[in-house]
Amino acid sequence: MAAEALTPEAVFNQLNDTFSDYELTYDENVPCIIVPANAIRDVAMQLRDAEEYAFDYLMSLSGVDNGDETLGVVYHLYSFTYKNQLTLKVIVPKEDPKLKSVARIWLTADWHEREAYDLVGMTFEGHPDHRRILMPYDWEGHPLRKDYEVPEFYNGMKVPY
Amino acid sequence: MGLLSQQFDNSNIVITSVEGVLNWARLCSLWQMSFGLACCAIEMMAASASHYDIMRFGVLPRPSPRQCDVMIVAGTVTLKMATRVKRLYEQMAEPRYVVSMGSCSNCGGPYWEHGYHVLKGVDRVIPVDVYVPGCPPRPEALLEGWMRLQEKVRDFTLVKDSSKQTTEKQVA
């Protein structure tokens, strides 16, 4: 076991060596690692299982509409071994918002990914139960997108005031 | 009353109409459907607890809509829930009453403008007898609403009200 928790930058540098095929970037303004959509599962696996990281706990997974024709997913990780925290981000284009699911890696992600899909509308490939979680199954659209417009009616019920 | 007056040995007798007895019996045993939708349900539970003791009005919470007289819509009615609320209401036996408790179920409350998922008033899907304002209403307010509902039940009659041209919309 390493004596001290790694800084986000140190984690990034090590990951960058491990995953030289993927283009990882580091955002030093808000210390986080930006991971390509197709790399997130491999990176997540490494962060959870490698002894020097041991991020065994996904604190939160949030969907974001960045407002610039991209959607984002933010992962907040925690390591009980090192009491260390790390933030990952995935940015996907709005017209084709697909990324790999981490629900098999951290079970917490199961419902969180469903929520992100439900409200922001990105697709998590490989999710075991990919469907809406809050809105009714026959709801159209994803309400937390910036360009979302409230429907006039839902099942014959008027929606606006 | 000429025939009966002064004909009894003791005063242990009550004279009333059948309608009066039925209404009195019903208003003193309005059974409530036990379900809550949001924070208003906490106040509703407080009204049931010992301090406010809504049971002294003859209110029993029942787990099935078929055994209930009153539905207290306590909380935010989402569009997803609205279809369920409507179905539960339809399963209640007549005569049935609805108390809309709190701003959300009255008119959408704080979600009136940006609540894409909230029904702006439960009266858009089921008829409401009493509206209790508040966010959430205190248990006293619910008790007040309950007594208003009792007044409504007490005044129920099959006789036409000749003073009114149009008959009042009867909730049934």
CB-based contact B40:B101 (threshold 8 Å): yes
pLDDT at B86: 95
Domain that holds residue A87: 8-158
pLDDT at A136: 93
Instruction: Report the C-alpha gap between A25 and A16 in whole angstroms.
Output: 8
Q: Are A155 and B113 within 8 A, CB to CB? A: no
Farthest CA pair distance, chain A:
62
pLDDT tens column, A33-69: 999 999 999 999 999 999 989 999 999 999 999 999 9
Does residue A3 form part of some domain? no
pLDDT tens column, A100-135: 999 999 999 999 999 999 999 999 999 999 999 999
The residue of A115, A145, A155 whose CB has the most chain B CBs within 10 angstroms, and thus the best one to mutate to test that interface, is: A155
Report DSSP state, residue B20. Answer: H
Q: Is B83 on the interface with A (CB under 8 A)?
A: yes
Task: Give the pair of three-digit tokens for residue A89.
Answer: 């981000």
The residue of B117, B119, B123, B125 whose CB has the most chain A CBs within 10 angstroms, and thus the best one to mutate to test that interface, is: B117
Q: Are B125 and A157 within 8 A, CB to CB? A: yes
pTM: 0.81
Count the domains in chain A: 1
pLDDT at B172: 46
Query: Which chain A residue lies closest to B118 (C-alpha atoms)?
Result: A159
Instruction: Report the C-alpha gap between B83 and A136 in whole angstroms.
Output: 11
Which residues sit opposite A88 in a β-bridge? Answer: A33, A75
pLDDT at A3: 58
Does residue A29 form part of some domain? yes
CATH of the domain at A111: 3.30.460.80
Closest to A16 in 3D by CA, of A37, A43, A41, A40: A43
Does residue A56 form part of some domain? yes
Query: Which chain A residue lies closest to B86 (C-alpha atoms)?
Result: A157
Q: Digits of tens for pLDDT over chain B (172 positions)?
A: 578 777 778 878 778 889 999 999 999 999 999 889 999 999 999 999 999 999 999 999 999 999 999 999 999 999 999 999 999 999 999 899 999 999 999 999 999 988 899 999 999 999 999 999 999 999 999 999 999 999 999 988 888 777 765 555 555 4
Does residue A2 form part of some domain? no
pLDDT at A60: 95
How close is the nearest chain A Cα to the Cα of B4, in Å?
A: 59
Contacts of A154 in chain B (CB under 8 A): 79
CA angle A9, A21, A18 (to 5 degrees): 45
Does residue A20 form part of some domain? yes
Closest to B108 in 3D by CA, of B92, B91, B125: B125
Query: Which chain B residue lies closest to A142 (C-alpha atoms)?
Result: B116
Does residue A1 form part of some domain? no
CA atoms within 13 A on the CB side of B28: 6
